[in-house]
């Protein structure tokens, strides 16, 4: 389990990791642009699916960094809530706003309502985990969408390659050359969209892995604090009230 010192040390890691990763990606895109590969991909993909994939990737990346900042703010609030609980107990009036503090208040309310029964926070922890995850699941959806768009571009590209062959007259050299050009365009669409979809999906998975790891560490810290300082204190108070 992760304790308060470990959470403090890891506090800025997710955002820093995202910034480093994104900086490397931007540097790679600048190099590809300098050598003309980005322009070649944009002009070669007549369906513009690659451009759509790039736009969706940027939007999903912005969502990821927004969620990382939100998780780090919850981490700040969790540290303050842990300090308030240690100083004033689970019913401390100076608990900060945040999901962890809200969970502690829910535990306090549950303990007061159920009396001397054993306090089980399993269901409340499931609710807390869902609240902490928030819209993190959008990462899996976005990565899968980019992959499917890449496959869609592959299918469209192969269709563009096969259409000129249907009415091809092999004795007409001009028609053969025109068909070869159309087949080349179809192959370019298939390859560029597949490449854009695969690369975009992989890069998004890396970003959201950083986010999910930070969320999991925060949830572990919440379990540690509540089990050690909250649940035990509330059960002790219930026993003393008997």
**Residue ranges per structural domain of the chain:** 4-241
Q: pTM value?
A: 0.87
Any idea which residue has 């609240």 for tokens?
Answer: 131
Listed in sequence order, the residues at least 6 apart from 194 whose beta carbon sits closer than 8 Å to its beta carbon are 150, 151, 153, 154
Is a pLDDT exceeding 80 seen at residue 165?
no
Cα dist from 92 to 83, 87, 95, 120, 233, whole Å: 10, 8, 6, 20, 12
pLDDT tens, position by position, 218-240:
999 999 888 888 888 777 776 66
Cα dist from 71 to 79, 172, 219, 226, whole Å: 12, 65, 10, 18
pLDDT tens, position by position, 104-158:
888 888 888 877 667 788 889 999 999 999 999 999 999 999 999 999 999 998 8
- Lowest-pLDDT range of 25-34, 57-66, 75-84, 207-216: 75-84
CA angle 132, 201, 9 (to 5 degrees): 40
Is a pLDDT exceeding 50 seen at residue 241?
yes
Is a pLDDT exceeding 60 seen at residue 175?
no
At 127, list the tokens.
């609710």
């Amino acid at each position: 389990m992760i304790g308060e010192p470990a959470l403090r040390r890891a506090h800025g890691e997710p955002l820093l990791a995202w910034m480093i990763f994104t900086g490397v990606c931007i540097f790679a895109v600048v190099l590809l642009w300098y050598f003309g590969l980005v322009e070649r991909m944009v002009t070669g993909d007549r369906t513009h699916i690659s451009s759509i994939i790039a736009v969706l990737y940027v939007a999903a990346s912005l969502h990821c960094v927004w969620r990382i900042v939100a998780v780090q703010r919850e981490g700040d609030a969790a540290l303050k809530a842990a300090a308030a609980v240690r100083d004033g107990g689970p019913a401390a009036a100076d608990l900060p706003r945040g999901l962890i503090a809200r969970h502690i208040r829910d535990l306090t309310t549950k303990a007061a309502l159920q009396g001397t029964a054993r306090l089980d926070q399993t269901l409340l922890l499931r609710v807390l985990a869902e609240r902490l995850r928030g819209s993190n699941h959008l990462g899996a959806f976005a990565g899968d969408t980019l992959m499917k768009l890449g496959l869609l571009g592959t299918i469209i590209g192969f269709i563009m390659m096969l259409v000129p062959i249907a009415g091809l007259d092999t004795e007409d050299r001009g028609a053969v050359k025109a068909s070869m050009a159309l087949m080349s365009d179809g192959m370019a669409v298939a390859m560029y969209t597949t490449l854009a979809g695969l690369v975009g999906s992989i890069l998004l998975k890396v970003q959201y892995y950083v986010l999910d790891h930070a969320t999991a560490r925060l949830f572990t810290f919440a379990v540690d604090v509540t089990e050690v300082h909250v649940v035990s204190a509330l059960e002790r108070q219930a026993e003393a009230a008997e």
